[in-house]
Structure formats: C-alpha cells, structure tokens
Amino acid sequence: MSEAIKKPIPTPDGDSKQFWDGCQEGKLMIQKCQDCRNHIFYPREVCPHCMSEHLDWVEATGKGKVYSYTIARRAGHPSYKGDLPYIVALIELEEGVRLMSNIIHCDVEEIRCDMDVEVIFQEQEGMMIPRFQLV
C-alpha cells in the first residue's frame, strides 16, 4: 500500500511568524500601520501606503466578502486530488485587505462574488490554516 502524499504547508518566516502563531490560536492576525492607520496584508516590514516601519499586529474580525474566485477542477498538487473540485478565492476582509484562501463547506457551484464569508481554521499537517465559509 502506498503512503499518502502530504499536503504542503506554509513556512513561517520573520515577517509572517506572528500571522501563523495567531492562526494556531484561532485568530486571524493582520498588520496595521501606526502612522497612516491602514491595515496591511500580506505581512511585511514596511507599510506599502506610507513607507512607515511602525506596524502593529491586530486581530481581524475574520469577516469579509468574496472578491474573486476560481473553481479548481484539477489538483494544483497531487495531495489535493481528493478535494476536487475546490474553490480558491480572494477574500476582501472588513478591514479592507485581501487574502487568498479556500472557501469550504459549500457547493462549489453556488459561490458568487460579493457573498459574505467568515474565517474558520482547519488543521493541515499540524498547522491551523485559515479557510472561509459562507455566512
């Protein structure tokens, strides 16, 4: 019997460690600039809006809307064959930032742009991964 292929997991680095630590605790953490007050995602060292290095980590509400999406009907990695078809979506959070994730627990054919979603965390190879479901 062949061994199951493990799903790839993210590799936290200096910029993203607090994001992934938050996920392990069931919190969706994003950055906020102390100077211009804009929220920021993906994690980085400098605000892309004003170039400030004064960034804080804040907990996002985890609520947002589907900005864009695609339905994957071919696995992007062999370990995802059993998940087909699945949704890869760009989610616009209430805080105004966008992040890419999956929408789960729904019929892939019912997804539309502007649908309300909320974050849930799903274990994958020992890490908690932020995914979204319809509200």
Task: For the chain, give every domain's residue range.
Answer: 17-134
Per-residue pLDDT tens digits for 90-126: 999 999 999 999 999 999 999 999 999 999 999 999 9
pLDDT of 51-92, one tens digit each?
Answer: 999 999 999 999 999 999 999 999 989 999 999 999 999 999
Does position 2 have pLDDT exceeding 60, yes or no?
Answer: no
- CA distances to 60, 62, 131 from 108, rounded to whole Å, are 26, 21, 14
Of the candidates 56, 52, 60, which has an alpha carbon nearest to the alpha carbon of residue 36? 52
| Fold topology of 17-134 | OB fold (Dihydrolipoamide Acetyltransferase, E2P) (2.40.50)
Q: Alpha carbon of 1 to those of 4, 9, 27, 75, 79: distances in Å?
A: 9, 24, 38, 22, 16
Q: Which residues pair with 92 in a beta bridge?
A: 65, 98
pLDDT at 35: 98
